Structure 1
């Protein structure tokens, strides 16, 4: 087996191990309370609606590849592999991730934020 195949397998195995102990976005909450609910769950996709009033966040969790849409924006403190930063998130902003990712967020703004998370299966 080629060395780079072995390296790829090891890296994939490590990323799976780091997410095995973390909840997914539906399971994760904030201080014992759920922040996401299922709007649709089919064979092809799961759609979550996540709501964050001011001073409410989302405990550290992982995401499978997904697409996101901001129904209502606010300002968030985000902690991930690159560190902690504060960013304004405007209504109507979209994003997508093609890899497994993990983070923790906190709404530090003064308005309630609402997101749709669309996860292909």
Structure 2
């Protein structure tokens, strides 16, 4: 009888721990937007990959969010203020720029330039 209860308890703990895995208190890039408006849309999604297209008009940003490991490509570049774990900086992102992150990361951005900037984000599942 006691052995059954121990196994039940171990099973419930294992379920509880596995349900906590990969939980992030921040929204993902699709859920996050700017002042209640979406900035990203799903272009393609399957069991291995999700591709987002994110568009930022001047003065529009992306509220703090997390990314799963991903590769990004800049369709149309621009000037951004980026805040992440390293601090806040301003960057000019050129058209055709490719970037990659191999771990879960988080940041927020704001288009401080005068033109609309567009990105593809390919997230691995």
Bin the TM-score by the shorter chain.
0.7 to 0.9
Residue 20 of structure 1 aligns to a residue whose secondary structure is: coil
* Aligned partner (choices 104, 107, 120) of residue 103 of structure 1: 107
Residue 55 of structure 2 aligns to a residue whose secondary structure is: strand
Give runs of ≥4 in structure 1 deviating > 6 Å. Answer: none
| Unpaired stretches in structure 1, ≥5 consecutive residues | 1-15
| Distance of 1:60 and 1:120 partners within structure 2 | 20
1:44 deviates by 1.5
Q: Does 1:119 align with 2:96?
A: no
| Counterparts of residues 73-92 of structure 1 (less than 5 Å) | 73-92=77-96
1:95 deviates by 0.3
Residue 109 of structure 1 aligns to a residue whose secondary structure is: coil
Q: CA-atom RMSD, angstroms?
A: 1.3
1:20 deviates by 1.8
Give the structure 2 partner of residue 21 of structure 1. Answer: 25
Relative to the length of structure 2, the TM-score reads 0.81
Residue 29 of structure 2 aligns to a residue whose secondary structure is: coil
Q: Does 1:71 align with 2:75?
A: yes
1:21 deviates by 1.2
| Unpaired stretches in structure 2, ≥5 consecutive residues | 1-20
| Distance of 2:89 and 2:123 partners within structure 1 | 25
Give the structure 2 partner of residue 93 of structure 1. Answer: 97
| Distance of 2:80 and 2:88 partners within structure 1 | 10
Give the structure 2 partner of residue 5 of structure 1. Answer: none
Aligned length: 105
| Distance of 1:20 and 1:92 partners within structure 2 | 30
Relative to the length of structure 1, the TM-score reads 0.84
